[in-house]
């Protein structure tokens, strides 16, 4: 709020405060017009203002406590930082009366204070919150614009002003409230009765649904995998039989003699006419028809140069031509003695001008022809004996069993067999001969109805392949029970297998609706039952609630923990060492501080516990429990970390050996690697937030804690998020971009902080030390830290210096791309700078025996 805006608010407040309460809103509307924000601000001040109470409290208030953000672990002379989710107050916007100092207190809006009052007013800590009383002494209902106020140290620039009535102040948590206590009797109302009837039904229904859903998923997975494996076996067996059959034809003496004769004729006379009239051509046709019993069998013979010596074509138009460029690879394999499977593929016209006799897909076997000495002298391609139709029939029969969609694809993602489902779902051209084989690229058409029902090969060429076909065509085998779109835009589940030696992928899919129809039926049944029980419960509760009362005893959830000692207090919480009464396990118990018990800080506290609980890496602190007591106090039970922080490690023994620093950093990368993979950035990595202890088998063991400032890369719309416009974290370990764009969440900011820790461990000093905040910011943004070797008074290997520099690069693009890349580099360097368990034990014996 600028000065002009403030003056306007002050003017309106003075004018409207003398009016009767029922005339105030109308007066503001007449003065402010359509500026609803201005009306709400003035009404908020009126609702919260009690002139007499403000004067009395201002005269009796004590000196305010040091802001919590300044009372944390910041070194002397460093600027205040946000700790445990708190926020600094630098540049705070215009605040309600309960948050302004003496120069903006609402009591000064009415009259100028006396010198005595002016001296005492700066000492006020808070302003008494409450609804303004009318002159008649009655307490009117708060206006719609009444808003909860917050301490400025608890708000960011963009912190919302909540429109709920201010929550009553709660006492600070103490051991006394963690004991068993009885609650007052209250009437059993409709809500309790509804819970008593619905909850068991809901639990049973949920259990039944989950069981049915789990069984259906297992059954669907088994069915899809079973069909895929069965089809794969059938295809393998069929193609093996076809290979053996055609190889037996190629080995027949009469056919071999005919081809040897053609080769010799070609060597003697290379003219096309001579080849057409060669006696071996007619002998070849007769032998092949006799062997295959197929009068329309198709064949082509090539010599070692790729020249066509004979073919099934009656006019011999292709004789003397050469193999097509895209067929040269298959021909070369056959010349090496392999039997090559060609297709399924639609033939196209080649340079010779010969037109294919069919527009349907074909398959062929290409085999070597050997002379009497076993040398490959030619190759022959044989097709036209029903090979493709028989293969297509295998997939048609599999599709007909149980409403499945079973088809084959090649490495390019083209469907190479006909799917009955595709024929039903897709719109084909009249010239397609009821076939989608080798015409349909199995791509995901998205949600467009038009693209989902048309073959549209040109359109599909630009779209990504479906999930199953993308996996199969890349040589993978697997399954997916989470629905994904198929080539028609229909949600399906499926399994796939890749037959590498055949160059074919087998895909088996079922629509998601049919796969999980039973589970949906069970869900709808229990939903209907729940609605029926709700009506019954509400009807019965109207009678029971008037005459039934139950005594309830409440036990505080933290009564099972015995407090041992206070470990410390941060910006938001107090941490105690506690012992579980039944398990005897030491824990760290964090409780929200009484002076931070407001809506925003409770939401921040919730977020820290939930984010930390989502992590399971052994180098990340473990969350055991979380919740709230009967009076709403928030608590979090964590693993009790025995050891000392990295800050204390350096404080006790100065800069560390290179091997030890690398060993510790590698463990920190493990913790951050898991967090980053889950889309979570820590944002406050520093030596004080990493605990080091001695493990008997590993040696140094590092654990990362304090996720109070952590933020997700992709915020969940259902979870509380802050909209910070000021920086949060420890200044000397913050990346430059965090100063420039506080709201920009980038995992590479954590990598910068890891580099600062590396510098700290290797040099024994933070990278930047400056008392003046602006000077510190300038150093971080523009300058490079002093060389590590200067602090150590010894040379440091260049790879180590390069590692630290790359981590602490000013530009995020110049750092390691991911924490995993940094971990790989650390692994490489650790091999050259080892740190043994015995070395760790020796250090702990000297410097940390009491905390091992």
Which residue ranges are tagged as binding site for ATP? 590
Residue 833 · residue 820 · CB < 8 Å: no
Query: Is there a cis peptide before residue 344, judged by omega within 30 degrees of 0?
Result: yes
734 CB contacts (<8 Å, ≥6 apart)? Answer: 727, 749, 752, 753, 780
Q: How far apart are the first and last CA of the chain?
A: 54
Question: If you count them, how many residues does the chain have?
Answer: 852
Residue 156 · residue 578 · CB < 8 Å: no
Q: Helix, strand, or coil here: 152?
A: helix
Phi, psi of 578, rounded to the nearest 5 degrees: -135, 160
Sequence ranges of the binding site: 590
The DSSP code sequence of 247-277 is HHHHH-HHHHHHHHHHHHHHHH---HHHHHH
**DSSP state at residue 172:** P
Give the residue among 431, 439, 435, 386 at the shortest CA–CA distance from 409.
439
User: 699-704 and 690-695 as β-strands: parallel, antiparallel, unpaired?
Assistant: antiparallel
Residues 451, 455, 461: CA angle, nearest 5 degrees: 80
Distance CA 704, CA 693 (A): 12
Give the residue among 436, 459, 435, 432 at the shortest CA–CA distance from 448.
459
E strand segments, 486-580: 491-499, 504-511, 549-550, 553-554, 561-569, 573-580
Q: Quick count: other Cβ atoms within 10 Å of Cβ 487? A: 32
CA dihedral 679, 684, 686, 688 (to 10 degrees): -120
Q: What is the C-alpha radius of gyration for the chain, rounded to an integer number of angstroms?
A: 40
Q: Helix, strand, or coil here: 519?
A: helix
Q: Which residues of 253-272 are buried (b: 16+ CB within 10 A; e: fewer)?
A: eebbebbbbbbebbeeeeeb
Q: CB burial class (10 A; 0-12, 13-18, 19+) of residue 851?
A: middle
Q: What ranges in 658-703 are assigned the alpha helix state H?
A: 658-677
Residues 660, 661, 666: CA angle, nearest 5 degrees: 100
Q: Helix, strand, or coil here: 39?
A: helix
Distance CA 226, CA 239 (A): 20
E strand segments, 236-349: 298-303, 308-311, 340-345
Distance CA 547, CA 840 (A): 70
Give the residue among 542, 630, 550 at the shortest CA–CA distance from 186.
550
Q: Quick count: other Cβ atoms within 10 Å of Cβ 635? A: 24
Distance CA 494, CA 510 (A): 6
**DSSP state at residue 554:** E
Residue 398 · residue 231 · CB < 8 Å: yes
Residue 714 · residue 746 · CB < 8 Å: no
- Which strand (E) or helix (H) includes residue 45? helix 36-48
Q: Quick count: other Cβ atoms within 10 Å of Cβ 368? A: 20
Q: Helix, strand, or coil here: 516?
A: coil
């Amino acid at each position: 709020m600028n000065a002009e805006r403030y003056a306007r608010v002050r003017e309106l407040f003075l004018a409207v405060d003398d009016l009767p309460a029922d005339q105030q809103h109308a007066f503001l509307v007449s003065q402010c017009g359509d500026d609803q924000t201005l009306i709400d601000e003035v009404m908020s001040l009126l609702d919260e203002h009690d002139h007499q109470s403000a004067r009395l409290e201002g005269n009796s208030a004590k000196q305010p406590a040091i802001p919590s953000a300044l009372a944390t672990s910041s070194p002397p002379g460093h600027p205040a930082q946000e700790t445990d989710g708190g926020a600094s107050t630098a540049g705070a916007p215009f605040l309600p009366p309960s948050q302004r100092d003496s120069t903006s207190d609402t009591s000064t809006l009415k009259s100028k204070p006396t010198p005595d009052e002016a001296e005492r007013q700066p000492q006020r800590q808070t302003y008494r919150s409450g609804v303004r009383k009318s002159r008649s002494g009655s307490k009117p209902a708060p206006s719609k614009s009444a808003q909860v106020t917050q301490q400025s140290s608890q708000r960011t620039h963009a912190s919302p002003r909540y429109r709920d009535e201010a929550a009553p102040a709660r006492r600070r948590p103490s051991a006394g409230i963690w004991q068993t206590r009885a609650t007052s009797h209250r009437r059993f109302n409709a809500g309790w009765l509804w819970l008593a009837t619905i909850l068991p039904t809901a639990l049973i229904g949920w259990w039944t649904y989950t069981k049915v859903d789990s069984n259906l998923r297992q059954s669907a997975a088994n069915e899809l995998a079973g069909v895929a494996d069965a089809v794969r076996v059938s295809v393998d067996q069929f193609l093996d039989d076809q290979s053996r059959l055609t190889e037996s034809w190629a080995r027949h003496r009469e056919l071999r003699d005919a081809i040897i004769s053609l080769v010799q004729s070609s060597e003697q006379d290379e003219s096309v006419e001579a080849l057409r009239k060669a006696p071996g051509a007619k002998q070849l046709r007769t032998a092949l028809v006799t062997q295959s019993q197929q009068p329309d069998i198709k064949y082509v013979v090539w010599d070692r140069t790729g020249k066509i010596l004979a073919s099934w074509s009656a006019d011999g138009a292709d004789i003397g031509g050469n193999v097509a460029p895209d067929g040269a690879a298959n021909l070369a394999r056959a010349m090496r003695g392999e039997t090559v499977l060609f297709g399924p593929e639609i033939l196209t016209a080649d340079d010779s001008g010969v037109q294919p006799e069919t527009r349907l897909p074909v398959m062929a076997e290409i085999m070597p022809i050997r002379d009497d000495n076993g040398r490959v002298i030619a190759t022959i391609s044989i097709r036209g004996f029903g090979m493709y139709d028989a293969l297509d029939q295998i997939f048609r029969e599999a599709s007909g069993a149980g409403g499945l969609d079973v088809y084959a694809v090649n490495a390019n993602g083209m469907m190479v067999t006909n799917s009955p489902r595709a024929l039903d779902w897709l719109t084909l051209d009249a010239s397609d001969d009821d076939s989608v084989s080798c015409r349909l690229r199995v791509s995901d058409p998205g949600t467009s109805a038009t693209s989902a029902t048309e073959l549209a090969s040109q359109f599909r060429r630009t779209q990504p392949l479906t999930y199953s076909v993308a996996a199969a065509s890349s040589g993978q085998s697997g399954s997916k029970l989470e629905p994904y779109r198929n080539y028609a835009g229909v949600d399906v589940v499926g399994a796939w297998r890749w037959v590498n030696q055949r160059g074919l992928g087998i895909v088996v899919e079922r629509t998601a609706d049919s796969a999980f129809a039973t589970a949906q039926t069970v869900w709808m049944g229990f939903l209907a039952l729940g609605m029926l029980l709700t009506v019954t419960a509400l009807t019965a509760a109207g009678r029971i609630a008037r005459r039934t009362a139950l005594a309830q005893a409440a036990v505080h959830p933290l009564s099972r923990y015995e407090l041992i000692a206070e470990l410390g207090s941060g910006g938001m919480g107090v941490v105690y060492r506690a012992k579980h009464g039944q398990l005897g396990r030491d824990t760290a118990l964090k409780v929200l501080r009484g002076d931070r018990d407001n809506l925003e800080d409770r939401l921040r506290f919730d977020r820290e516990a939930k984010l930390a609980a989502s992590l399971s890496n052994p180098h990340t602190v473990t969350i055991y429990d979380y919740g709230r007591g009967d009076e709403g106090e928030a608590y979090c039970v964590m693993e009790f970390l025995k050891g000392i922080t990295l800050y204390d490690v350096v404080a006790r023994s100065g800069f560390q050996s290179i091997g030890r620093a690398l060993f510790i950093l590698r463990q920190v990368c493990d913790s951050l690697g898991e967090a980053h993979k889950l889309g979570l950035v820590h944002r406050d990595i520093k030596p004080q937030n990493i605990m080091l202890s001695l493990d008997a088998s590993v040696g140094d063991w590092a654990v990362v804690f304090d996720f109070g400032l952590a933020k997700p890369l992709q915020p969940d719309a259902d979870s509380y998020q802050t909209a910070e416009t000021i920086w949060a974290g420890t200044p000397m370990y913050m990346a430059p971009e965090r100063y420039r764009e506080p709201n920009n969440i980038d995992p590479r900011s954590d990598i910068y902080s890891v580099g600062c820790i590396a510098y700290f461990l290797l040099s024994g000093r933070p990278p930047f030390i400056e008392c003046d905040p602006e000077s510190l910011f300038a150093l971080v943004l523009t300058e490079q830290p002093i060389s590590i070797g200067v602090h150590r008074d010894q040379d440091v290997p260049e790879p180590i210096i390069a590692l630290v520099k790359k981590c602490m690069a000013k530009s995020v693009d110049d750092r390691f791309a991911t924490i995993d890349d940094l971990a790989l580099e650390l692994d490489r360097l650790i091999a050259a700078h080892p740190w043994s368990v015995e070395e760790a034990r020796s250090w702990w014996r000297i410097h940390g025996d009491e905390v091992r």
